[in-house]
Chain A
């Protein structure tokens, strides 16, 4: 009898499981005469909410929209194989020029062109905009390209987000930078303390060798130990740093004159040879540990670096590159003698730069401790104050969990917290010990469409009209998300602010879908 009970129980479980299992599947859309547009919106878990909301809007205009969540790289693989229809993606731009956003994302056959968009006229305009040597003409080309893009609507155009940092109330002189850097040289604490900790949104820093990583957060830390020829203001303008001034004798030649009296942390003076070495190390196919630096892409068409005299260095490019100065910000100068003496491996463990702080202790997976370098030359005069750093000791902590970062900030364990989730900003604003600081981000978020599958521009336009982005973004990100009219950022060169983002117009969307032969309610 017991046996029977057990078997019965099993059977009950089975049927219940079957019932619920089947209950999960959706009825397929009925087909009568006209076809219904079915769309699966793919994305990673962090975009899930947004995609669910988008799907709701699309359903209102008769699109049978479903959401599917993926592991990032598995999805990317499917996208590149052309198997998906619509996918939430994002692309970061570092140098305030469509050169590293619109070009890789939308030019035919470029690395990031997941939407398979291809328009010869558009490609030509991008080429002109990215590589022309007259800024006025470049701007014109870029603007014209935006017009084409707006009409073609290869994506459901998206938005960019604010960079939101949480800062303890006693922190002075800190400005979040659009390029996401955390420049601690100018920061001080109002209550006389001289130790500051930063919570970074990363698991571990890959390397402290400025030429051996591709990670924004690594550069954040490295930039406080190393200086470059040029640097950037928080709002993205290139200003001199190690270089005092520069000339551009021809479109493919740059000459930099460096400041005198700059010292590395180990006391060695900075020489032109160090600059030449820094760049040759990245250009060489066997530059670091017998391998090529992963940062070679950040040198653009650089061909040759050479010493002119003891204070001048000359860069020769393969072809004109209007973004070259912006790119140079991302290369930091290393000491040739020290590096050659200790080798690449040891250098990454005990890096020596000429920046405002020097390394005390590095545990790449938990914290990096720096202290003030008293022999600092002062830094860029365009980023006052000039002189040694005000803080004596700074600590970068790896805190990848947003909630732990916020909790650490509230508990006073850290004074600057990167990437605060929008949803907790309101809460932090009520905390007198914490303030929220923001600036524009440079990462573009969108829903890319597979232009090989969704070939009718009317459909793509309809999808753009159908989503009430203002309502959606307001709900999810408050005032911290900003819509984009196309794939160009307002902070980038050549942005056309006369183009307004697609308005929410479900009627227009339905009409366009109907014209394309799809069923609408």
Chain B
């Protein structure tokens, strides 16, 4: 990671490049896995935004006479409930479709909060160092020594249920990576001549940081953000699985898996299918993230 920063990106000759779109499309086409990832994510986004239009039923609508219906392709399934129904006769397809909203927004916002907190703290700590740096770095070390899940469970128990609290609970530890990335970059960048020169010219510190350092780390940040979103979606599911997730007006994939656990033997689909939904979304995110990493820095790809 350290090497990345030492070589500032050559400023792209903007005017000369008439069609940036063409080029990026070409680049993406050269990395079909990234394209596939992007398409998967796009599909999920469309599903999440258009959930009310796409879902055949309301996610909370119960039909107590149609409980435990298997998916359409299994024996006893019907086309009315393509993916079958759960313990309350709720349509599994509709619940999975609405569940994408929770996963995507929780994953996204927890990472964005972490990004914001991590990069602000990291920039300050890296630029000024001193006591602030020492304290924040110690806190980060402290958080690292306790298993992530333990912390999330703590946080959910203290904060109580709710989407917002869930996002906070997930962000409590996730900011550290962003913090460390930015802090490291800025420390190594700070001593460079051009930063010194800028300071001589009387430009204030924060401006230097933003103007000179951030553009160099933006790629690593974007890659990290993408990959972390995938991880957060899995964490959200894990918390929901332990019963510490979101309230049920919002069906969440993790709690759907947990709810089907008791009836695994006679209704496998209730647990299995939401898991597949998680798998494909996170797969898409990871594919895109890795490809972004490959495109933005070939040396990074070589080192993984």
Contact = CB atoms under 8 A, between A and B. Distances in A.
A24 B20 contact: no
Contacts of B163: 21, 24
A69 B64 contact: no
B93 to A, nearest CB: 18
Contacts of B17: 1
B183 interface: no
Interface string A25-52: 0100000000000000000110011001
Contacts of B157: 71, 73-74
A403 interface: yes
A296 interface: no
A423 B87 contact: yes
B105 A2 contact: no
Contacts of B31: none
Interface of B: 12, 17, 20-21, 23-24, 27, 45, 48-49, 51-52, 60, 62, 64-65, 67-68, 87-89, 100-102, 104-105, 108-109, 112, 156-158, 160-161, 163, 215, 218-219, 222, 225, 243-244, 246-250, 255, 258-259, 261-267, 292, 295-296
A16 B255 contact: no
Interface in A86-139: none
Contacts of A44: 243
A2 B295 contact: yes
A24 B296 CA distance: 35
Given A13-B108, A14-B108, A69 B243 contact: yes
B244 to A, nearest CB: 6
A21 B248 CA distance: 15
B261 A403 contact: yes
Contact of A16 (B49, B112, B218, B259): B49
Interface residues of A, number: 52
A180 B160 CA distance: 33
5 contacts: A4-B20, A10-B225, A16-B48, A16-B49, A52-B60
Contacts of B101: 20-21, 23-24
A240 B163 CA distance: 56
The 3 tightest CB contacts between A and B, nearest first, are: A1-B20, A475-B64, A17-B108
A273 B89 CA distance: 60
Contacts of B51: 20, 23
A44 B247 CA distance: 10
A45 B255 contact: yes
B104 A406 contact: no
A52 B104 contact: no
Nearest to A67: B248
Nearest to B12: A1
Contact of A476 (B87, B100, B261, B267): B87
A21 B27 contact: no
B160 A20 contact: no
Contacts of A78: 160
Contact of B265 (A13, A17, A427, A471): A427
Given A45-B258, A403-B262, 17 more contacts: A6-B219, A6-B222, A10-B225, A13-B108, A17-B105, A21-B105, A24-B102, A45-B255, A52-B62, A52-B248, A53-B64, A56-B62, A66-B249, A71-B243, A424-B263, A475-B67, A475-B88
Interface in A45-87: 45, 48-49, 52-53, 56, 66-71, 73-74, 78
A421 interface: yes
Contacts of A70: 160-161
A69 B255 CA distance: 11
A402 B262 contact: yes
A471 B64 contact: yes
A383 interface: no
Contacts of B23: 1
Given A403-B264, A423-B68, A53 B102 contact: no
Nearest to B104: A20
Contact of B49 (A23, A49, A74, A472): A23
Contacts of B218: 3, 6-7
Contacts of A360: none
A412 to B, nearest CB: 15
Contacts of B244: 71
A4 B222 CA distance: 12
Contacts of B87: 49, 423, 476
Among B24, B65, B255, chain A packs the most CB atoms within 10 A around the CB of: B24
Contact of A421 (B20, B112, B222, B263): B263
B271 to A, nearest CB: 9
B168 to A, nearest CB: 14
Among B64, B65, B262, B263, chain A packs the most CB atoms within 10 A around the CB of: B262
Contacts of B219: 3, 6
Interface in A373-396: none
A1 B108 contact: no
Given A14-B108, A24-B101, A53-B62, A423 B243 contact: no
B86 to A, nearest CB: 8
Interface string A318-343: 00000000000000000000000000
A137 B263 CA distance: 47
A5 B104 contact: no
Contacts of A12: 45
A474 to B, nearest CB: 8
Contacts of B62: 52-53, 56
Interface string A400-427: 0111001100100000000001011011
A62 B92 CA distance: 27
A423 B264 CA distance: 10
B22 to A, nearest CB: 9
Contact of A424 (B102, B215, B258, B266): B266
A263 B68 CA distance: 54
Interface string A452-472: 000000000000000000011
Interface string A417-458: 000010110110000000000000000000000000000000
Contacts of A2: 24, 27, 295-296
Nearest to B25: A5
A4 B65 CA distance: 53
A407 B105 CA distance: 37
A215 to B, nearest CB: 20
A421 B255 CA distance: 18
Contacts of A69: 161, 243, 246-248, 255
Nearest to B163: A24
Given A48-B248, A53-B62, A475-B88, A16 B104 contact: yes
Given A16-B45, A52-B60, A52-B88, A423 B105 contact: no
B15 to A, nearest CB: 12
A436 to B, nearest CB: 14
